[in-house]
């Protein structure tokens, strides 16, 4: 192992060699530290290095937080001295502040595109895999509730399935209430909406049949929230014995990508025209939530971020140009026909729990009218994606 030091006042082109043919030097313009490692040149801008100094004045290790004072921060910092000791690169800055960077840490924070992509794929979010009614069963696995609650490796696999495919089942769930919440607490905590932490979707006896019918239509939950409840969990405590009343699940990711490829005009309308989603006063309770967002919400990279669809909670206030009204309805009809065409129909069994991505999966068939000898009882709860991704990362380590 070699160590070396370099004073940069004049001889800035000198290269410091260390550890198995690894070298370090500054770029000609003195703005970038270049490490040559395994035949690759790794570039680290000095401004980034200074911002990411790991000394106790700049970084608080216990809280994993940057504490450098940015009010005095110089965005064109100069290095006056470069030294390599064993596996560390030591930089002295113009103001005599000294930073020490471990080379492995630097390589881990590489600016090379392929390294960045690798990191994002592994650590940011699992890559989503679209499915349709023909291949859904070959993709989703079957997991035991008990194992997911007690074994970290199983919980990790189940959450990865949920993230990749947008839906995952659990079997042999104890037939008590609070099992959804138990699962949410195993991951982090449940997400409260106006329907409380855990909601009962047994029956809505006071509402009309027509209203119940409308809730049977395929939809995404709580479309009027900017911070959409990420995951819906449904635990079946009791299921009807009559035929039919199946649930429908459609992969919004599959449908929208199919539209993007085969019917770009429809895709463009649905992903650009803002719709008002509304939630207003029910049973004497006062509230008025509105969100303006398109049916297909894209992120800054053009990927599908969220699907919003609800017949019952789409506002009559449609704040668009007159000329867009009919084309939008036409696009919505194509979208709805496709979601029904590609739906996977499933009847949740007693003791099963279904979790699905409420920003992606379009779901129908939640409500059913009970009678004395034909009852259904389902308990639901929501969990946020931020907490699920966090748990996946923790379990990965
Ligand atoms: Zn520092």
Q: Using one digit for the tens of pLDDT, what is the confidence trace for 177-197?
A: 899 999 999 999 999 887 778
Distance (angstroms) between ligand 1 centre and the Cα of 64 equals 14
Distance (angstroms) between ligand 1 centre and the Cα of 14 equals 25
Q: Write down which residue in 123, 143, 173 finishes a domain.
A: 123
Judgement on whether residues 29 and 142 belong to the same structural domain of the protein: no
Distance (angstroms) between ligand 1 centre and the Cα of 223 equals 46
Report residue 240: phi and psi, to 5°.
-65, 155
Distance (angstroms) between ligand 1 centre and the Cα of 141 equals 48
Distance (angstroms) between ligand 1 centre and the Cα of 51 equals 8
Distance (angstroms) between ligand 1 centre and the Cα of 84 equals 17
Count CB-CB contacts under 10 A for residue 270.
Answer: 24
Report residue 378: phi and psi, to 5°.
-125, 135
d(C-alpha 217, C-alpha 340), whole Å: 10
**Mean pLDDT estimate for the chain:** 89
Judgement on whether residues 303 and 358 belong to the same structural domain of the protein: yes
In this prediction, residue 20 carries a pLDDT of 60
Distance (angstroms) between ligand 1 centre and the Cα of 57 equals 5
Mean pLDDT of 321-335: 98
Nearest to 49 by CA among 29, 34, 62, 64: 34
Distance (angstroms) between ligand 1 centre and the Cα of 1 equals 26
- Domain range spanning residue 190? 126-396
Judgement on whether residues 212 and 96 belong to the same structural domain of the protein: no
pLDDT digits (tens, 9 = 90+) for 245-275: 688 999 999 999 999 999 999 999 999 999 9
| pLDDT reading at 2 higher than 70 | no
Distance (angstroms) between ligand 1 centre and the Cα of 243 equals 68
Across the strands, what pairs with 293? 275
Judgement on whether residues 48 and 159 belong to the same structural domain of the protein: no
Distance (angstroms) between ligand 1 centre and the Cα of 33 equals 17
Distance (angstroms) between ligand 1 centre and the Cα of 24 equals 20
Mean pLDDT of 293-308: 97
* Selected residue with higher pLDDT from 147 and 215: 147
Neighbour-count burial for 160-191, b at 16+ CB within 10 Å, e otherwise: bbbbbbbbbbbeebeeeeebbbbbbeebeebb
Distance (angstroms) between ligand 1 centre and the Cα of 115 equals 25
Distance (angstroms) between ligand 1 centre and the Cα of 35 equals 20
Q: Write down which residue in 123, 149, 175 finishes a domain.
A: 123
Report residue 277: phi and psi, to 5°.
-105, 135
Q: Write down which residue in 94, 123, 152 finishes a domain.
A: 123
Distance (angstroms) between ligand 1 centre and the Cα of 22 equals 24
Nearest to 240 by CA among 145, 354, 352, 369: 369
Distance (angstroms) between ligand 1 centre and the Cα of 19 equals 24
In this prediction, residue 243 carries a pLDDT of 59
Across the strands, what pairs with 345? 248
pLDDT digits (tens, 9 = 90+) for 340-380: 999 999 888 999 999 999 999 999 975 555 566 667 788 99
Distance (angstroms) between ligand 1 centre and the Cα of 54 equals 6
- The pair of structure tokens assigned to 279 is 């939630």
Q: In Å, what is the CA distance from 143 to each residue of 151, 153, 170, 181?
A: 11, 12, 5, 18
Judgement on whether residues 118 and 137 belong to the same structural domain of the protein: no
d(C-alpha 114, C-alpha 151), whole Å: 33
Judgement on whether residues 288 and 145 belong to the same structural domain of the protein: yes
Judgement on whether residues 356 and 222 belong to the same structural domain of the protein: yes
Mean pLDDT of 25-47: 93
Judgement on whether residues 118 and 96 belong to the same structural domain of the protein: yes
Structural domain tally of the chain?
2
Neighbour-count burial for 41-63, b at 16+ CB within 10 Å, e otherwise: ebebebeebbebbeeeebbeeee
d(C-alpha 162, C-alpha 93), whole Å: 47
Distance (angstroms) between ligand 1 centre and the Cα of 83 equals 16
Distance (angstroms) between ligand 1 centre and the Cα of 77 equals 13
Distance (angstroms) between ligand 1 centre and the Cα of 32 equals 18
Distance (angstroms) between ligand 1 centre and the Cα of 56 equals 7
d(C-alpha 128, C-alpha 160), whole Å: 10
Judgement on whether residues 115 and 150 belong to the same structural domain of the protein: no
> Are the CB atoms for 196 and 371 separated by under 8 Å?
no
Full-model pTM:
0.89
pLDDT digits (tens, 9 = 90+) for 60-111: 999 999 999 999 999 999 999 999 888 899 999 999 999 999 999 999 999 9
* Selected residue with higher pLDDT from 155 and 243: 155
Residues 6+ apart with CB under 8 A from 317: 276, 278
> Are the CB atoms for 234 and 201 separated by under 8 Å?
yes
Residue 329 banded pLDDT, cuts 50, 70, 90: very high
Burial class (CB in 10 A: 0-12, 13-18, 19+), 128: middle
Distance (angstroms) between ligand 1 centre and the Cα of 46 equals 13
Distance (angstroms) between ligand 1 centre and the Cα of 47 equals 12
Sign of CA dihedral 367, 372, 375, 379: positive
Distance (angstroms) between ligand 1 centre and the Cα of 70 equals 12
Across the strands, what pairs with 200? 379
Judgement on whether residues 102 and 172 belong to the same structural domain of the protein: no
Mean pLDDT of 316-339: 97
Check which CATH number belongs to the domain holding 79 and give it: 3.30.2020.30
- pLDDT > 70 fraction of the chain, expressed in percent and rounded: 88
| pLDDT reading at 13 higher than 50 | no
Count CB-CB contacts under 10 A for residue 150.
Answer: 11
> Are the CB atoms for 372 and 193 separated by under 8 Å?
no
Distance (angstroms) between ligand 1 centre and the Cα of 27 equals 22
Check which CATH number belongs to the domain holding 305 and give it: 3.60.130.10
Nearest to 353 by CA among 188, 201, 174, 217: 174
* Selected residue with higher pLDDT from 12 and 5: 5
């Amino acid at each position: 192992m070699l160590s070396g030091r370099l004073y940069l006042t004049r001889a800035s082109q000198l290269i410091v060699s260390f550890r198995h043919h690894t070298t370090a030097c500054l770029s000609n313009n003195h703005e970038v530290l270049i490490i040559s490692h395994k035949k690759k040149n790794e570039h680290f801008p000095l401004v980034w290095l200074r911002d990411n100094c790991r000394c106790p004045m700049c970084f608080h290790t216990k809280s994993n937080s940057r504490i450098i004072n940015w009010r005095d921060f110089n965005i064109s910092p100069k290095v006056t001295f470069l030294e390599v000791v064993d596996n560390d690169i030591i930089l002295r800055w113009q103001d005599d502040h000294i930073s020490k960077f471990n080379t492995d840490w630097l390589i881990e924070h590489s600016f090379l595109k392929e390294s960045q992509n690798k990191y994002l794929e592994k650590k940011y979010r699992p890559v989503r895999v679209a499915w349709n009614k023909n291949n859904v069963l070959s993709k989703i696995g079957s997991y035991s509730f008990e194992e997911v609650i007690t074994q970290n490796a199983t919980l990790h696999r189940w959450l990865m399935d949920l993230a990749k495919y947008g839906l995952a089942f659990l079997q042999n769930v104890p037939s008590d209430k609070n099992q959804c919440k138990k699962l949410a607490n195993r991951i982090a905590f449940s997400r409260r909406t106006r329907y409380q932490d855990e909601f009962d979707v047994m029956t809505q006896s006071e509402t009309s049949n027509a209203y119940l019918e409308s809730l049977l239509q395929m939809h995404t939950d709580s479309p009027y929230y900017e911070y959409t409840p990420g995951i819906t969990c449904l635990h079946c405590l009791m299921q009807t014995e009559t035929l039919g009343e199946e649930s429908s699940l459609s992969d919004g990711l599959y449908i929208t990508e199919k539209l993007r490829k085969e019917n770009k005009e429809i895709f463009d309308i649905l992903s650009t025209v803002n719709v008002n989603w509304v939630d207003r006063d029910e049973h004497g309770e006062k509230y008025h939530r509105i969100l303006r967002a398109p049916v297909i919400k894209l992120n800054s990279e053009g990927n599908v971020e969220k699907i919003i669809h609800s017949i019952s909670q789409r506002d009559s206030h449609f704040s668009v140009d007159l000329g867009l009204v009919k084309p939008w309805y036409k696009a919505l009809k194509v979208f709805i026909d496709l979601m029904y065409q590609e739906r996977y129909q499933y009847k949740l069994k007693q003791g099963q729990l279904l979790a699905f991505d409420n920003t992606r999966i379009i779901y129908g068939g939640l409500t059913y009218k009970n009678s004395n000898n034909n009852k259904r009882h389902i308990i639901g709860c929501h969990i946020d994606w931020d907490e699920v991704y966090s748990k996946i990362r923790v379990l990965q380590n």
